Homo-oligomer: A and B are copies of this chain.
Amino acid sequence: MKAFNHPAIESFRLEQVLYALSDPVRLSIVNQLANQGETTCSALDCGRPKSTMSHHFRVLRESGVVHTRCEGTTHHNSVRREELDQRFPGLLAAVLASREAPTH
Interface residues of A (CB under 8 A from B): 10, 12, 14-16, 18-19, 21-24, 27, 87-91, 93-95, 97-99, 101-102, 104
Contact = CB atoms under 8 A, between A and B. Distances in A.
Given A89-B97, A95-B91, A98-B88, A18 B15 contact: no
A18 B20 CA distance: 9
Contacts of A15: 21-24, 27
B91 A10 contact: no
Nearest to A18: B22
A95 B94 CA distance: 10
B87 A98 contact: yes
B99 A14 contact: yes
A10 B104 CA distance: 8
13 contacts: A10-B104, A14-B99, A16-B22, A18-B19, A19-B19, A87-B102, A88-B97, A89-B94, A89-B97, A90-B90, A90-B94, A91-B91, A91-B95
Nearest to A9: B102
